[in-house]
Structure 1
Amino acid sequence: MSTRSPRSEPAPVPAEVVDIERALSRITHLAGRVRQHERLMAAAGVPLDRATVSVLRQLADRDPLRPSELAARLAVEPSHVTRQVQRLEQLGYVARVADPEDRRAQRIELTADGAAVVDRIREASRRGMQNALKDWSPEDLRQLAALFNRMVDDFVSSAAEAEAAD
């Protein structure tokens, strides 16, 4: 006979959480498809790949950032960010500026042209979403927006707690 105490099994995941996870997985898959990205770029009139769009969106939300901060936020290697930033510099969408906290370091910021491109991409994305949800009532849209924001806030809090525990 074993003297070990039995391990308690984790509680089952509620069916609603399973459904939410499945729906989010489907949305992520649809949003990440190459053809979907190409349609979005065509609607925005911007011939950029997904990686450069991700960099632009991050900078639009948190401008300016050090390249290492940008890489961390995107969860990619710094060399990946370097290539994307160089491409965006060539297009005139970003510029390197001195870091006010450390003159030896640089930050990446959007130019006016870069901000305009992000605005066009976001507008095209919103129009696509509006089209997909065209049959939803204003109340359903308000409720969805509130629940999505609540979910994202909870995901952010949970991630912060997990990082603090590490």
Structure 2
Amino acid sequence: MAIDTDQSAQLVVDLSRVVKLLRAVNVSVPRFHEYLESSAHPLLFAIHDEPARVTDLADRVHTDVSVVSRQVRHLETLGLVTKVPDPDDGRASLVTLSAEGTDLVTRVFDGRGQWMAQVLADWTPEQAASLNEGLTHLAESLRTELDALTSAKENR
């Protein structure tokens, strides 16, 4: 059974509000690295998940390759990532975390995890698990939609 238009419209409104609140919180939370904006965290998380080429990282973080390339250069300058030869293609490089980058990701995970635990302090574990399940499902649905839109655009 599909959800109705009114319910889905309310979800859009609620999600927009949550995104705005997250952005506002991100501006106010302490930084984990003096010269690194929190906007670079998703890229660090993607590299942490698996070292990859810049083009693959751009796909993972849903950002233009040129933006990710600039971010990677900045992360290299800060000593948080390094490039290593791609074992599948020696002409290409994989971006990987340095020891300092791995330490930073650990501190961000831990710090943000503690913060979220405080935000959800009045939630039951079941409510938090339900939110996590719903967000995972939403992300999968959005990825499917993005893939379909990208495919349709390429076929024009």
Q: TM-score range by the shorter chain?
A: 0.7 to 0.9
Structure with the greater alpha carbon radius of gyration = 1
Aligned match of 1:20: 11
Cα shift at 1:96: 0.4
What is the number of residues matched between the two proteins? 150
Aligned match of 2:83: 96
Aligned match of 1:138: 125
Report the TM-score, using the length of structure 2 for normalisation: 0.79
Cα shift at 1:26: 1.2
Cα shift at 1:161: 4.0
Please state whether the residue corresponding to 2:123 is helix, strand or coil.
Answer: coil
CA distance 1:111–1:156, change in 2 (3 Å): same
Q: Determine what percentage of the aligned residue pairs are the same residue.
A: 28
After superposition, the CA RMSD in angstroms is 2.4
Report the TM-score, using the length of structure 1 for normalisation: 0.75
CA distance 1:137–1:159, change in 2 (3 Å): same
Separation of aligned partners in 2, 1:52 and 1:136? 29
Cα shift at 1:56: 0.9
Separation of aligned partners in 1, 2:11 and 2:55? 33
Structure 1 unaligned segments of length 5 or more: list them.
1-12
Q: Higher mean Cα deviation, 123-132 or 67-76? A: 67-76
CA distance 1:149–1:71, change in 2 (3 Å): closer
Are 2:41 and 1:50 aligned?
A: no
Q: Which has the higher contact order (CA 8 A, sep 6+)?
A: 1
Structure 2 unaligned segments of length 5 or more: list them.
none
Aligned match of 2:26: 37
